[in-house]
Amino acid sequence: MIQRIQSVWLLLTSLTLFILLALPVVSKTNNGTEYIVYTNGLHQIKNVSSETHIRADVFMPLMVSNIIIAILAFIAIFLFRNRTLQKRICSLIIILIAAFNFWVFQSAREIPGGLDGASFGAGAFLPLVAIAFCFLAIRGIRKDEQLIRSADRLR
């Protein structure tokens, strides 16, 4: 049913990935320009004689990938009738998050000067939290399977 604990973990996974859209992953200041990498793009903030110029380069494929993985985690909540499929999708989500995180950091290396001296924001750690939530969801699915097997033995 939907009120199982793995549904809560999958919902938290989905929310974590949606929050990732709004939080910075990496930020760095180079030659008076601040570069901030989000999963939706690279934002450049330049302060020139009391004027602030903001320029954003959108990483549309990254943003779409982030949204798709978050939606996939949300859809997995409603697959409670097919636990094996739910478990496989959770495993797929973990792999996709790891690949997505690698892709984000490869994109972040495009900052002028590289990642040397850059500070990592909360967005750099949220994919790890989402992976942990997926592992907890898989554990909850396994416990459900064990509970159903033990109930079948009692009949």
**What does the pLDDT look like over 95-107, one tens digit per residue?**
999 999 999 988 8
What is d(CA 140, CA 92) in angstroms, rounded to the nearest whole number? 16
pLDDT at 88: 95
Distances (CA, A) of 135 to 56, 63, 68, 82: 35, 24, 19, 18
pLDDT at position 107? 87
pLDDT at 50: 64
Q: What pLDDT was estimated at residue 155?
A: 58
Give the pLDDT confidence score for residue 48 in this predicted structure: 67
Percentage of the chain beyond pLDDT 70 is 92
In the beta sheet, which residues pair with residue 57?
42
User: What is the C-alpha to C-alpha distance for residues 140 and 147, in angstroms, rounded to an integer?
Assistant: 11
| pLDDT (tens digit per residue) in 50-92 | 667 677 788 899 999 999 999 999 999 998 888 899 999 999 9
Q: Is the pLDDT of residue 116 over 60?
A: yes
Q: Give residue 126's pLDDT.
A: 94
The dihedral region occupied by 31, where left means phi > 0, alpha psi between -120 and 50, and beta the remainder, is: left
Please report the sign of the dihedral spanned by the C-alpha atoms of residue 60, residue 65, residue 66, residue 70: positive
Of residues 2 and 147, the one with the higher pLDDT is 147
